[in-house]
Structure formats: C-alpha cells, structure tokens
Structure 1
Amino acid sequence: MDIQTIKEQICDVCHKMWQLGWVAANDGNVSARLEDGTFLATPTGMSKSFITPEKLIRIDAKGNVLEAAEGLRPSSEIKMHLRCYEKRDDVWSVIHAHPPGATGFAVAHRSMDMYNMIEDVAVIGSVPLTPYGTPSTVEVPNAIEPYLEEHDVMLLENHGALAVGSDVVTAFYRMESLELWAKITINAIILGGSYDISRENIQKLIDLRGYYRVTGRHPGYKKYPRREEGAPTDT
C-alpha cells in the first residue's frame, strides 16, 4: 500500500474517532508502520478532527522525527506504539482512544474477560486490563508488553483502550468492536446480567477464525474456570 493511501486512512480513522466521541480535544493517537521500517504518527496537541495528511509525522523506530511540518511533533504516547511494533512483527497499525463504554470498564478496574457476544468471541476474545502507567513515560509500554503476545485489544487502567492490527482499518475495526461490545455488556448488566456462551460453543467460534481469515492473536478460552451454567458475567 502506498504512503498516501495510508495517510488518508489514518486521517479518516482520526475523523471517525472524533465523530464517534471516542476522543475529545487532544485525546488519542494513531500510527502506522511503513515498508521501509519508518512510521507515520499523529501529532500531539491537535484534535483528531483537524488531522490532515500533511500534518502527520514520520519517525524512526526510536521515535526520532524524520519528517514533520513546522512546529509539529509526535504524541508523547508514541513510546507505547513503538513497543507494540517492536514486540509484534505482524502489527502495522496502533490506535489509542478513550471510547466511553470500554474506558468505563478501565476506570472501574474491570477487564472484559468475558465470552458473551458471538462476534467478539471469534474476533477479539477476552480483553485484559493492563496495570496503571503514567502517560508519556515508559510505564505504559512496560505495562502493556506482557499482554501483547496474546492480545490485539486491551484496556489501559484509568486511561482508555488500545488496539493493534495488520493495517489501519483492521486496528480501527477492533476498537469499534470493543466499544460496541462494552456498551452491549453494560446494558445487559443493567437489565439483570451478562451471560457467557457455553464453553463448547466458544471453542466452535474460535475455530472459525481461520475460515473467516481473521488475523492477529487470540487468547483462547483459558482466562478463568467456566462459571456455572446461567451464572451472569457481572465483572
């Protein structure tokens, strides 16, 4: 994919995140890996609604700026993005945002370790809650690193959500799926409880990943002992 197309995808995703209310003011950041080993990243201090191709910044694997419009620099959260690329050769885009439903789980210190939605069981699997890290420091990349081996989506404690993908659109889709899933689960809990799919059917859904050509990692069904049939998922 040529660089201009990737730039346009990043801008489109930034605008969509702002329109969906996943970011406000200067929140969130998006990046993409390029074929030459460099990266494109959104600038700091700018609303995602204002991002245009010429405002994107090109950096190297250490975060050094290679190309940038005057006065622009990458987000201080770029350390988190670069850690994802360093640890996962299959990751070509990273998105960080504050979608209200999913971030609600992060603020409540609740992982989304559940198997209650057919699509999300197959595509994402359980979503962990990573330990708290001070933004702009190496604490955040250090906090997410242990989860990168098995997860493409994770919650950042008291912070927001992170999604990685084989391209910008895939990373965005995962964040979009996460947020809808979080909202549905919250509604289910309000209505009396969220109920997991049976273990047998969970495995069938995981096995369908190959058929649907789903890329990325999946934690499988192993995060907790099976609850008694009919027991609600309320954590």
Structure 2
Amino acid sequence: MVRILVCDKIHEDGIRILREFAEVDVSTGMKPEELLAKVPDYDAIVVRSATKVTAEVISAGKSLKAIARAGVGLDNVDTKAALARNIKLINSPEASTVAVAELVMGLMLSFARKIPRADLGTKQGKWEKKELMGTELRGKTLGIIGTGNIGKAVGRRAAAFEMRLLLYDVVRDEGFAREVGGRYVELDELLGNSDYVTLHVPLLPETRHMIGKRELEMMKQGAVLINTSRGAVVDEKELIEALKGGRIGGACL
C-alpha cells in the first residue's frame, strides 16, 4: 500500500480523502533531522510552507515518487533535485485564489477608507471625522503584476468597483484584458500610472526583489504597494526607505 507522510497541518477532510487509498501518517513540526530520518519510509510527502524539502531530504527519500504542496508556491521545495529523480511535483494552484483576491480588495478598502486608524481611534475615544475622510476606489487605477489565477480574480473584483486596470505579465491573456476592460502594458508604465500596485507572482530567481529601489522610485507619488505573494518579491529595505521618505503613500503586506 502507498505510504504518505503529511508534514504540515492540513484540513482533516484532506487526511480522510488520502486515507481512502493510502496509509497516511501525520507528523507536523518536525526538525530537519527528524524529517531526514522519516522520509525513507514513504512514497509521497505532503507539505505546506513550514517544511523545507531540500535536496538532502529528497536524496534521503529513496522511495519518494511524489511531493505535494498544499498551496500555490513551490519555493520551499528543491524542484531541481526532485525533477532529477523523476519525482512528481504537485501543488494546488486554485486553493487560495478567492481568499487572496478578497484580501487584496480588503486591504485596498482599508487603506482608502482609513479603517484601521478609524478603528483604533474609536477605541481610544476619538472622533476624527475630518482626518478620516478617505478616498474612493472607483476611478482609481489598479496595476496588477501577474495575471494568473489570483491576479485575474483580483482584476474581476476591481472591475466591479469601477477601477481602471493596467496589467503586466510575461504571458499576456488578451481575452482576460477585454473581459475586465483593462490593458497590458510594460512594467514601467504600470508603475508610473497606478494608484495601487498589487503583486501576484511566484518567487523565482527572476522575480526576487523585482520591486526594488528603481521600481519604487518609478511609482506614482502617493501610490500604494500591495504584496500578497512571497515577501522576497519586494526589496523590503528599499520599501522602508520609500515609505520613510514619503515617496509612496503606503504598503499593505
């Protein structure tokens, strides 16, 4: 019988489904050396983001045939080492699409309407009505960097808010652009013309720090950067400097 090791917490329904066709052991919070000792006994492992599936782990997994990531990104898995062993890599690209897209809309609304400050002030007994006037999202320009599943979901929701959409991706989906009334542009044009910029790209060597000093300086004065993808996509030291200097209006991370 196939043996599966679940290394990070997943929903009990997922465990139940796996147990319909395999012997499943759940062992979360393992130290690297504990995982190295366990992995040789299993045909497949399931991880989220906490467990790092290194080349050493893959080498130790003599029986490994599959590595499953209960999530979108595979940056915690040494994919080269896995593919060299012909180990199948599995992720769940649509699992968090709606949740992340709704979070992005919530972050924009919170920033535009100054909801966190209003909440804190009210709890402190303040009534800062004039200071908390805020702005509307309608008519503002949202720049979406990365139009995969999540980027598209954000675009559809932003279009419903009557926002203008600028899109950037190395692979363009003109059908989607027509659907939401947006248009694909080069990255520099998007940065210079967007009131909000939201990132939806995987963490790859070519996307690490893709938003750095140059890109932050190109952003529209007072614009807001939203990053719900991997943190390393943004050079956080440069982001802090841009915020301190008032170059951009804010960041939602």
TM more than 0.5: no
Higher relative contact order (CA 8 A, sep 6+): 1
TM-score of the superposition, structure 1-length normalised?
A: 0.30
Point out the structure with max Rg over C-alpha: 2
TM-score of the superposition, structure 2-length normalised?
A: 0.29
